[in-house]
Amino acid sequence: MTATTESFELVASVEPEIVRLMDEHRERRQHWYAHDVVPWEMGRSFRDEPWDESQATLSPEVRTALQLNLLTEDNLPYYHAKIAGSFDEGSPMAEWSRLWTAEEGQHSIAIRNYLLATRNCDPAQLEDERVATVTKGWTYDSPCPVEVFAYTSAQELATRISHRNAGVKADCEIAHEVMTRVAVDENHHFMFYRGVTTAMLKQAPGSVLNAIHQVLANFQMPGTGIPNFNRRAVAIARAGIYNLRIHAEQVVQPLLRHWRIDAIEGLDARASELQEKILTIPDTLIAQAEAFEARLSKRDARTAAGA
């Protein structure tokens, strides 16, 4: 789907809803401070006491998840540029993009400071990977503003789940609090983007179904450019923090239910075809998840047999 006059007019037509959702977000979200939750008392000088793997207190899988989530957050300048650059400076979305960016920025501050204070990362490696990630940058190819909302609806929900699960599996009360606060913020952001997409779906279901299909059929998290992303993603998937099954059952299916994709009527032939294609996406993802899980089981069995 390309950016057209129609797509920009569609976004403009729901600007009153964008303003309402933004006001609702401000009233709903409780402001918090990263310095209140980071355990500074645990911090020690890396110069006087260089980092060593034995100092880490979290499992390797949880550390991998936290570092991957952090590096994804570090690419915030590119996400801001994409969202802000898709809308006129005078639009409510320009105001939202600034507010969203300010709130998202605290997430990387909180996660990084937690990891450094508790020595659950190699500080030099983490910084080298931050530089590599930000230097490489991030692009989302679609120029269509409607797709931006469909994508961020799925991405923010996925991020919320990944952050929350990492905190739950950390077996650390402080890590759990840090990641819970971050996940709650992501949920507020998710509700905003989902709400805007819902409003547009009511106005122009055919155009929005096209955007939803493009996004969900080809979905990728924004962290794919991070060094060793695939290896890390497999480790996180194996740990049950985020994987294809979670994506299908906790992201895609809830979105389709909320948007009532199966109940939309009065569509033309093209939109009806898109509707059917969208409804098959969860089953396709679950089939892929089952194949992935089967491969892991076979690999684990071979490893156990050779032990």
Tokens of 116: 């450094």
For 239-285, the DSSP string reads TTSS-HHHIIIIIIHHHHHHTTGGG--S--HHHHHHHHHHHHHHHHH
Domains defined along the chain, listed by start: 5-306 (1.10.620.20)
Cα–Cα distance between 195 and 98 in angstroms, integer?
18
pTM of the model: 0.93
DSSP state of 46: T
Beta-carbon count within 10 A of 182 CB: 29
241 vs 181: CA distance, rounded Å: 17
CA distance 88 to 65: 36
pLDDT at 174 (0 to 100) = 97
Query: How far is Cα 72 from Cα 301, in angstroms, rounded to an integer?
Result: 33
What's the rounded Cα separation, in Å, for the pair 40 and 34?
A: 11
Q: Are 145 and 86 in contact (CB under 8 A)?
A: yes
pLDDT tens, N- to C-terminus, the chain (307 residues): 456 788 889 999 999 999 999 999 999 999 999 999 999 999 999 999 999 999 999 999 999 999 999 999 999 988 998 888 888 888 999 999 999 999 999 999 999 999 999 999 999 999 999 999 999 988 777 668 899 999 999 999 999 999 999 999 999 999 999 999 999 999 999 999 999 999 999 999 999 999 999 999 999 888 888 999 999 999 999 999 999 999 999 999 999 999 999 999 999 999 999 999 999 999 999 999 999 999 888 887 787 777 6
Classify 4 as helix, strand or coil: coil
Helices 145-168 and 60-74 cross at an angle (nearest 10°) of: 150
Query: Smallest Cα–Cα separation from 170: which of 255, 60, 273?
Result: 60
Query: How far, in whole angstroms, is CA 155 from its chain's centroid?
Result: 4
Give the DSSP per-residue string, 139-178.
------HHHHHHHHHHHHHHHHHHHHHHHHTT--HHHHHH
Helix (H) or strand (E) holding 292: helix 269-306
Whole-angstrom distance, CA of residue 126 vs CA of residue 73: 13
Q: How far, in Å, CA of 21 to CA of 195, rounded?
A: 7
Q: What is the pLDDT of residue 285?
A: 96
Per-residue pLDDT at 304:
74
What gap in Å lies between CA 175 and CA 30, rounded to an integer?
Answer: 19
User: Smallest Cα–Cα separation from 240: which of 162, 158, 154?
Assistant: 162
CB 279 within 8 A of CB 209: no
Q: What per-residue confidence (pLDDT) applies to 85?
A: 82
> What is the separation, in whole angstroms, between the first and last Cα of the chain?
52
User: Given the structure tokens 């075809």, which residue do they identify?
Assistant: 273
Q: CA-CA distance, 156 to 293, in Å (whole number)?
A: 25
Residues 6+ apart with CB under 8 A from 265: none
In whole angstroms, what is the distance from residue 43 CA to residue 113 CA? 9
